[in-house]
Structure 1
């Protein structure tokens, strides 16, 4: 305990959390979501065809999966702090590289690199920072870290359109300058080491935790499937599918971004109050209802409410699943980081697979309503899985955690 206290005293927790927020804003919020409003401009300027622009978006998702898989191995080789610096620098460089329209291959490589950095950013910062945060505040802290994702979504709808009036090259460079400033702010904020010394749980607990972790990975992948219709098809559904026009679609995207900005903080605060397990089950239920709502009602209220709620959970589900992995994995830092890396990979696979599958369905006559119905069904299935494995929760882990820790076994 003295060792933990000494390590924690050497870490500026607020600065570490702020560094994590900056990292998620650069690596995911800007690197992924700022590309979406750039697509029409890239096509209109003749840089790429619509199909090529879509494939470049897929390159970022592929890179995200690679980064999630490689993050722990890189951190083990060169340290987590150095890995984070390299990833953030790579994301910044990718923005400036994309300002030069050399070729499709050039862009593909740099979009892949930016996605790779995003995958590593999703895995490493929280597991570096949270051990230094008091247990009763870890939900809120993780929510703040991943609020950068929501801020990036909000920025994509507010900063990019006016920047495009200057031109594409200027827009890419301006985004690069913003990412560089955030990277400089985060550069020295990450802690060198985790505050908690490695510990080992009993083999009995390990055997009982394994099924619940596997179920959690499946739930997280299904959650990714459920989010894809809103992330990919929301604006098109409102604008063309319902015939409400681009302005109505843009308003829904703004609400989506507003929800994403506050979602992780609210979700993390809720988890601190009721525990990560109950909060996760509530999140699955609310998401399923919000996605189903847009499939059965096209009123302005239904569209706005669905956009706001689902937008909140795009980044908001992250701190909840992170808290669950930390509760169910072995209490040593490496096992917890491994569990979170696997969960992030499961989400990336579910997201990429659903995006391609739903695009195929849509291209071959599938309706928007069908896609939103599939999304809602995926969330219902995730909730069923979570409830079904409820009896397998490791009791010893539940009693080992104080009620106020915010990291319950649920």
Structure 2
């Protein structure tokens, strides 16, 4: 087994950051500020544009299920390289709106790649990082999501001045550059020890882990409306225009940059469980306020708070998995299942919110209230841990 030296840690971390930036930060979140332009340019109808956004979420679920099987066939390093190439190709393909099915297919593929990367990236990079730096490394990897969100808010408006096709081509070019820069940064795969039924099933999964899966699922349902509809809400719903919508999205991106680091800080100093509880309270309040706020300053502040949640909750939930499951292989399995749970509810929520949006005649505030309800349910599940038998909580924790 090769251990990374202090000077050699950063290339794998940088590769992981590039992967989360391209596959989630850009592939998913760059679509949000494009929604008004896609509608106004008549590439697709308003209803189609909303459902095309949900295609990426469905792909994310498929990718979360296929990530580990793909890695077993190709190795983690090659699987991650392949997924980044798939996302890059999807950007270029979306520059040509040949049909709704064509666009849906490529958005679906980009989501598949994103889900696979989310399952594999931490498991590929963190084993090569000394224990004392795993928290920093995890935050740095998922910081790529926040950088992608912020980058989409700053890059998309000037690219749109060149046209929608140029915007997709520009995003593809950026993804290609980042894929090339990270190509040789991935660490070699560790030799896999044979997995026996005794090794994988000797210790049952604590009930608190299943509770975390459910909680993580409702978090996913709660983050979708702001993630998908925030710019459209500001630009069209409030009539503030695309420029103001883009500025609010930049603030959302700033929150996404701060999220992984600040949430990791909470996990380190308060513990993952207390950190999750605090974050959920803040998010529920923010979503409720978003439904009734109209001033730019209020929307900007709420955008920062809400933007911190999608990338920030990932290292926080991963820290909770590590608290509950001491054994390394068990952590990988639990994190994969948590990602599938998250992706399932995210995909279902994507279509449910899209249907609700169309059925309500474009009522954004209704979506935000439902999202706040989902966050409240996640918070109630957090308190439900105290009702579990004592054996459900682990007797030892591994940071």
- TM-score w.r.t. length of structure 2: 0.89
The aligned residue for residue 158 of structure 2 is 162
Whole-angstrom CA distance in 2 between matches of 1:11 and 1:195: 23
Report the Cα distance in structure 2 between the residues aligned to 1:275 and 1:188, rounded to whole angstroms: 35
CA separation in 2, counterparts of 1:342 and 1:60? Answer: 19
Q: 2:63, 2:114 within 8 Å by CA — same for their partners in 1?
A: yes
Residue 351 of structure 1: aligned partner: 346
Partner of 1:69: 65
Helix, strand or coil at the partner of 1:188: coil
Report the CA distance shift for 1:370/1:94 in structure 2 as closer, same or farther (over 3 A).
Answer: closer
Aligned-residue offset at 1:28:
1.0
Q: Which whole-Å CA distance do the structure 2 matches of 1:193 and 1:202 have between them?
A: 20
Pairing of 1:118-267 with structure 2 (within 5 A): 118-194=114-190, 206-207=203-204, 209-242=205-238, 244=240, 246-267=242-263
User: In structure 1, what is the Cα distance between the partners aligned to 2:217 and 2:206?
Assistant: 17
What CA deviation, in whole Å up to 9, does each residue of 1:298-320 have, x standing for no partner? 45444332211111111110111
Residues 337/182 of structure 1: CA separation in 2 closer, same or farther (3 Å cut): same
**CA distance in 2: counterparts of 1:393 and 1:17, whole angstroms:** 37
Q: Is the 8 A contact 1:65 1:116 kept in 2?
A: yes
Gaps of 5+ in 1: 402-406
Deviates more, 1:40-49 or 1:281-290: 40-49
Larger mean Cα displacement after TM superposition, 163-172 or 359-368: 359-368
After superposition, the C-alpha distances for 1:350-401 in whole angstroms (9 at most, x for unaligned) are 2222232233333333854433222222222212212221455768845353
Q: Name 1:329's counterpart in structure 2.
A: 325
1:360 correspondence with 2:355: yes
* Selected match of 1:287 from 266, 270, 283: 283
Separation (CA, whole Å) in 2 of partners of 1:340 and 1:14: 23
Q: Residues 224 and 349 of structure 2 are in contact (CA less than 8 Å); yes or no, is this contact kept in structure 1?
A: yes
Task: Provide the rounded CA distance (Å) in 2 between the counterparts of 1:84 and 1:202.
Answer: 25
Assess if the C-alpha contact under 8 Å between 2:260 and 2:312 holds in 1. yes
Contiguous gaps of at least 5 residues in structure 2: none
Contact 2:325–2:394 (CA<8 Å) still a contact in 1? no
Give me the whole-angstrom Cα distance separating, in 1, the residues matched to 2:241 and 2:27: 27
- Do 1:8 and 1:195's aligned partners in 2 also have CA atoms closer than 8 Å? no
- Residue 115 (1) aligns with residue 104 (2): no
| Contact preservation (8 Å) 2:153, 2:247 | no
Deviations 1:34-61 (A, max 9, x none): 2223333334444333333333222221
Distance 1:393 1:141, change over 3 A: farther
- Which residue among 76, 88, 103 is the counterpart of 2:84? 88
Question: How far 1:203 sits from its partner (Å)?
Answer: 7.3
Secondary structure at 1:277 match in 2: helix
Aligned pairs for 1:10-89 (under 5 A) are 12-89=8-85
Task: Tell me, yes or no, if the aligned pair for 2:324 and 2:397 is still in contact at 8 Å.
Answer: no
**Separation (CA, whole Å) in 1 of partners of 2:312 and 2:60:** 18
1:273 is aligned to 269
Which residue of 2 is the match for residue 305 of structure 1? Answer: 301
Relative distance call for 1:50 and 1:326 in structure 2 (3 A) is same
Check 1:310–1:195 CA distance in 2 against 1; reply closer, same or farther (3 A cut). Answer: farther
Give the secondary-structure state (helix, strand or coil) at the position aligned to 1:389: helix
